[in-house]
A and B are shown apart, each in its own frame.
Chain A
Amino acid sequence: MPSLLELQRDFLAVMLRRSDPATLGRHLQQRGDLARRIGVYRTNTLENFATALGAAFPVLRAWLGPEDFRAMAWSYQRRHPSQSGNLFNIGRALPPFLAGALAGTPEEWLADLARLEWLVQEAMVAADDTACFDPRALAGVAPMHHGELRFRLHPSVRLATLAHPCFAAWEAHQAGKPPQAPAQAGTEQLLVRRAGEGIELLRLDAGSHACLDALAAGEPLARVVAALEDIAPGSDPGACLAGWATAGVIIGVEPV
């Protein structure tokens, strides 16, 4: 009998198709129907992975169809096998995997779709925070220190700059319609957040994205204003911040 470690390494290699089933078979009592019995575990390993990945990327799955999605999932699994007993984490590397695999093809937009869906997943499981921004928190801050203020965003807020616009495909899927490939090329900037019991996606103009991006990076107000001015000269930063506070995207301010 091999050691526990040796046995498990042989088992793993067979499951990941790095070794022939005979590698495991030499440790087993079964002889006649070895392939079928090992096949149950191989099927479980593949299907559990593909099912969990499909739950995290439902729009991508709908676009590819179940068979192509499953084939893609297994190909991805060989390069990026799960590293945790928690299957939630397996989707993290899918966007860069697809970006590499689909670069230069008509389907390269799917890497952006995967990026968007992963941000949706992150937003869904982000921490709760019921705080609301209270303007009175600014009352005690001397105007000379306003530029040092750092605002806090809701933990579920995620920002995306996509090279291919995917909002429409995501929105169509939410409505039960088949997702469509982007009609035209062009950058799309989005805000993803949890709202109520679901997920909300908003298209952002360049100024709002610059403002929120700086806030999300923890920049002080002076730099947020400068970022907004760079991208959208003449914009009203006060109105921009007030709008996001009212919407519950900005939920607080750190003490100066």
Chain B
Amino acid sequence: MPAVDSLSRPVPATAGIGLRAVHHAEFLASRPAIPWVEVHSENFFADGGRQLAVLDAVRRDYGLSLHGVGLSLGSADPLDQEHLARLQRLVERVEPALVSDHVAWSGVDGVCLNDLLPVPCTAEALVHMAARIGQVQDRLRRQILVENASSYISYAGAEMPEWEFVATLARRAGCLLLVDVNNIHVSACNHGFDPLQYLDAMPPDLVAEYHIAGHSVVEAAGGQLLVDTHDAPVTAAVWTLLEAALARIGRRPVLLERDARLPPLAELVAEARIADTLMDARHALPA
């Protein structure tokens, strides 16, 4: 397990949930017995107000992970310094155990599409992204995690498979990896690669977190397409792939992401705890 800066409550190698606004009040009222949560960083870029007050209250009692969707680490544009400054301010305020974003880009020429778009797996993109991750880490004065994104297209000019790109990127940038097991499954089905080959390429010493989530299946004349919608329970195939990751890489914090059609909080926590059951069956938590 790699060392992660932890200035507040730690994020242990157990299950956590993505905490969304619809559950804020219930979470604070019911205080579910789950050790940590992850929130989307950009939702807390405010100067003040209720949302930030909720986060302040949550981080006093729970391990906290800040998961960003807006740094656009793979963009050809310069890094958005205002965005980075707001992230830095938030990190300094809540002192999260983990800070992450994606191996993706969101916009170019000053226009942002606010989606996680696939980076071409080329030497040019590798050098470019590693440098940008370095800038972010220098600014935040800590290691960040980068997450493999799901994808629906693949570039004709790719110079290496995605798993090689992601692993090499982490080594070059000196960052950690957030392995999204659902994203591997989605992309593997959409592009026809072996998800186990992807997992085998992930350097265990750099993997600091897993994500699991549900997805949608779109049927059409061209065949099935899996879409990373985070709007459904985790599928059996993704649980199986998580077990494979645990066997190959080891026990890590596992985050259940759910962003749409959110179930009641207790149901979400219960689903996340399936990951604990899987981990406990394989690896006892260190005392």
Contacts and interface: CB of A to CB of B under 8 A. Distances in A.
Interface of A: 1-5, 7-9, 11-12, 15-16, 24, 27-30, 32-33, 36-38, 40-41, 44-45, 48-49, 52, 81-88, 124-129, 155-156, 194, 197-198
16 contacts: A4-B76, A4-B120, A8-B117, A27-B155, A29-B155, A33-B222, A36-B220, A40-B225, A41-B115, A45-B113, A83-B112, A85-B83, A86-B42, A88-B46, A124-B46, A124-B49
Contacts of A16: 111, 113
A111 to B, nearest CB: 24
Contact of A15 (B109, B113, B223): B113
A88 B111 contact: no
Given A36-B225, A87-B42, A5 B108 contact: yes
Contact of A82 (B76, B112, B218): B112
B80 A84 contact: yes
B154 interface: yes
B284 interface: no
A11 B107 CA distance: 9
A27 B125 CA distance: 15
Given A124-B46, A125-B49, A83 B113 contact: no
Nearest to A45: B113
B48 A127 contact: yes
Interface stretch (B66-74, B169-177, B198-206, B265-273): B66-74
Given A1-B156, A4-B120, A4-B125, A12 B49 contact: no
Contacts of A2: 157
Interface residues of B, number: 55
B122 A4 contact: yes
Interface of B: 42, 45-53, 68-72, 74-76, 80, 82-83, 86, 105-115, 117, 120, 122, 124-125, 128, 152-159, 190, 218, 220-223, 225, 227
Contacts of B154: 28-30
Contacts, number: 154
A84 B105 CA distance: 12
Contacts of B223: 33
Contacts of B76: 3-5, 8
Given A12-B109, A83-B111, A88 B152 contact: no
Contact of B114 (A4, A33, A87): A87
Given A12-B108, A45-B115, A85 B69 contact: yes
Nearest to A26: B156
